[in-house]
Structure 1
């Protein structure tokens, strides 16, 4: 038994079944152990892709995957993906190598030498640890999974020096502990229940922390008869077209007016941050009523909006505890209040959103159960307002938070591995896709019929638009897109060119005709002309 074998055995005992990575000379021993395990391994074309795939995998099924990454450049490559996962509280276990301990910090020009690698990655991790004793590995992994299971999740990085990877290790793996997240204090539940029970105009704000508890969330908001905002990472928690669900519209005037008029607000598992609540960045989102904040992260309870009652606890335990302390039901005209806001918002008629509304109508008709994974691109920005999903974990993207480009395709591949029985669609722009073109090869290797909808407007259209609004010349935003039919052919993928909702619907109908990715290129100009 050496450290590498112990690592793989421990991961299996924690239920990890999937790993992503690109082998290197510094990780050979890890791959020797991996080849003798039950873990499925998938190779991206870039370490950033490994991180995005692990991100999409975890968002789609709630389970962390492992990434095996080589020292130095492998770690700087995956750092962007770790930053995205950190911003959105996505669990991810990154295992890297490091140079031999006697050489660390000496600047001798060793292969992949990176001074202070663990410290560098600490900025995009919940925990970054350098393992110096194989016997300590079970303890370090226990800390990692405690973060995943009972705290605000995010990436955990463990680096293992080359002389430790192959060193002798304890022959008996440690049994993982059962870890439960913190429960709400009874006194806090009683006070929150009293406020909510006596409220006349309650409002609920659900964030990504509620995604694992759709039944409890739906039961509580119906019990309260309260209009509910669901953030981008909570989309689908209440189901499709729920009468109380106002979606991620918190930054729009009619929704802000409703929020300001609420007498009691319950915010569960949400940062109440800029990219959900203040997209205009004017800082005027405010709540005049009593604010009850529930978050698994104690520090988050004090950020962005001051709470009248702050509860550090798991969202699910809190939802169930509150339901027991509230009357069976209360009529507060919640659905009517929500409907009034929707009429005032008139999202499908908004000039900036209207061109994309037929896109989501078509996706809903053609693939009603699909997981939609987005990059930073116009359709995804619009979909954050327009899309309505049947369940949580069906809509996620990189258009907010860390906001990286290149996320959509590899994250969609991770989602396809996590939920093989559901159709998966990547929504990308021609600009963002060019960050990760190589991952089309990964897509073909996987042999899954993932749809990649490419919104082709020959460049960075969102930045062009901002430049126009700011009277800045269009510099650096007009790009030459690849010849997508030839590109698809070269990677063994299928291709369809569409310019209208009808042609898109027809193309999506061919998704399952073969076990290969389907690139659907949408001519943005033709689309607009067809409406």
Structure 2
């Protein structure tokens, strides 16, 4: 007679039932019984070198695949170590499920000084999670996991944190393990028919329409492109939306919302269709002033609170973005890519004019942007950190497909994202991945290079080495503030990479980049490519 499954075993079963394949986590004394449920579950466990790396890997996995990334964390420091990465995911609306331990139920709130004790641990994560739940009975687990995935798959996503007392992991569960099944994913909310009719009428009558896409429109590549062609409307992308519409398309103006020439075009539109975007300053690369929409503004978002964020609409549609764009397209006359030649010429002139507005130093880095575009596989994924060259690739490096631009330069804006996020993206089974990170940011999460080596990932890691926090150094100079804390001692990154068991090389000219990346992608091992950055 088989024994009853434990709470930990049922958890693993339910994760697999929800199509989870990989989990990122570091075992600890409080999660021993959790990990007893892992063997034979069908889940692959990946061990980062820091819990922040675990959450960044889960983030990259989710961005590249569109499926929730999953973390296992220990009580107390495990959760707080992951907090920064969870907050980045919250800011960028990335689906992430974090399962953490918490002290035994009889110890909660007692202040007995137990190991890893964090008073009110659940309170610590509420500020950067879309939902937090503390399990108090093992029998609640199936319902709690079902609620978590309903939220992650049918609303504006973000991190969900479930904490489980360590005495519940070995608790016996009723029935057989195979009896536990996932709940089906819910149908996404459809747009109101009258609202679609009104929006279609406004767009059809418009003489100078514009489409703005945000990061929540990742599933809208086909529908957004078709609608733009029907309307003859320029499409501009937030930084989180790069690639959703192929940036080679003649109606796509790229992620250039921060430049005055594009602002003038958007503000002068008679109808603006803004889809799944906050219209935030990070969409405009830290340009604080909101757009002054002079025409009608139509906003589409699955989250009703976002429909009035930063700009009040003339028409608000709370629904799934792709379903809304498809219904709008069906309500409009057919149109084709071969039409609207004047608009295409206008978009080309706007993109060209943006380059004239670049900040000082950008022209010197532009050959590196061009070289990176040539080096990046056509369908490749670019993962970028907050570093000088990445701020130029945001605008000047065209991408061709959705989920091809994973960046922390939006929203929360942490450092150290790119290396672990690239590991997670590559482990998602996604396309080829290239990481771009600065020397300062790399030092935040350098240990995760060991994970890329363990997993034998063909991962080029471009390190833009300007011997410090170059962007902040430039801002200090511009503000006539003496340079303090921005000029750093940096290690020999190539030697350091080789000490991890990775490959490493150093380049100084853009024309060396394509071959270096191609060689790295052919290896079954990560390659750190150190770029000696030109000093402006």
* TM-score of the two chains, using structure 2 as the length reference: 0.95
Report the CA distance shift for 1:502/1:340 in structure 2 as closer, same or farther (over 3 A): closer
Offset at residue 84 of structure 1 (A):
0.4
Whether 1:228 and 2:235 are equivalent positions in the alignment is: yes
| Counterpart among 321, 325, 328 of residue 331 in structure 2 | 325
Structural mapping, 1:375-454, within 5 Å:
375-420=385-430, 422-454=431-463
Distance 1:247 1:508 in 2: 25
Q: Mind listing any 5+ residue stretches in structure 2 that lack a counterpart?
A: none
Alpha-carbon RMSD across the aligned residues, in angstroms, is 1.5
| Counterpart among 47, 50, 58 of residue 54 in structure 2 | 50
2:290–2:310 Cα contact (<8 Å) kept: no
Q: What is the CA deviation profile of residues 352-381 of structure 1, one whole-angstrom value per residue up to 9, with x for unaligned ones?
A: 322232223222222333211011101111
Report the CA distance shift for 1:513/1:241 in structure 2 as closer, same or farther (over 3 A): closer
| Counterpart residue number, 2:370 | 361
SS at match of 1:509: helix
| Counterpart among 199, 203, 207 of residue 210 in structure 2 | 203
Offset at residue 127 of structure 1 (A):
0.5
| Counterpart among 143, 146, 155 of residue 159 in structure 2 | 155
Whether 1:334 and 2:380 are equivalent positions in the alignment is: no
Whether 1:106 and 2:110 are equivalent positions in the alignment is: yes
1:278–1:285 Cα contact (<8 Å) kept: no
Q: Mind listing any 5+ residue stretches in structure 1 that lack a counterpart?
A: none
Q: What is the CA deviation profile of residues 134-153 of structure 1, one whole-angstrom value per residue up to 9, with x for unaligned ones?
A: 11111111111111111000
Report the CA distance shift for 1:146/1:303 in structure 2 as closer, same or farther (over 3 A): same
Offset at residue 337 of structure 1 (A):
2.4
Which is worse superposed, 426-435 or 27-36? 27-36
Distance 2:354 2:8 in 1: 56
2:502–2:527 Cα contact (<8 Å) kept: yes
| Counterpart residue number, 1:255 | 262
Offset at residue 351 of structure 1 (A):
4.1
Distance 2:522 2:148 in 1: 42
1:149–1:180 Cα contact (<8 Å) kept: no
Offset at residue 47 of structure 1 (A):
0.3
Report the CA distance shift for 1:470/1:349 in structure 2 as closer, same or farther (over 3 A): closer
Distance 1:367 1:24 in 2: 39
2:299–2:316 Cα contact (<8 Å) kept: yes
Offset at residue 308 of structure 1 (A):
0.4
1:59–1:393 Cα contact (<8 Å) kept: yes
Distance 2:112 2:146 in 1: 34
SS at match of 2:168: helix
| Counterpart residue number, 2:127 | 123
Report the CA distance shift for 1:231/1:26 in structure 2 as closer, same or farther (over 3 A): same
Which is worse superposed, 196-205 or 367-376? 367-376
Offset at residue 2 of structure 1 (A):
1.3
1:204–1:221 Cα contact (<8 Å) kept: yes
Give the number of aligned pairs.
525
Offset at residue 350 of structure 1 (A):
6.1
Offset at residue 277 of structure 1 (A):
2.6
| Counterpart residue number, 2:491 | 482
Q: What is the CA deviation profile of residues 171-207 of structure 1, one whole-angstrom value per residue up to 9, with x for unaligned ones?
A: 3314412311111000110110110011000000011
Distance 1:141 1:288 in 2: 46
Which is worse superposed, 71-80 or 222-231? 222-231
Which is worse superposed, 340-349 or 159-168? 340-349
Offset at residue 284 of structure 1 (A):
4.6
Distance 2:115 2:99 in 1: 18
Distance 1:38 1:348 in 2: 52
SS at match of 2:282: helix
| Counterpart residue number, 1:468 | 477
| Counterpart residue number, 2:529 | 520
1:232–1:396 Cα contact (<8 Å) kept: no
Report the CA distance shift for 1:491/1:243 in structure 2 as closer, same or farther (over 3 A): same
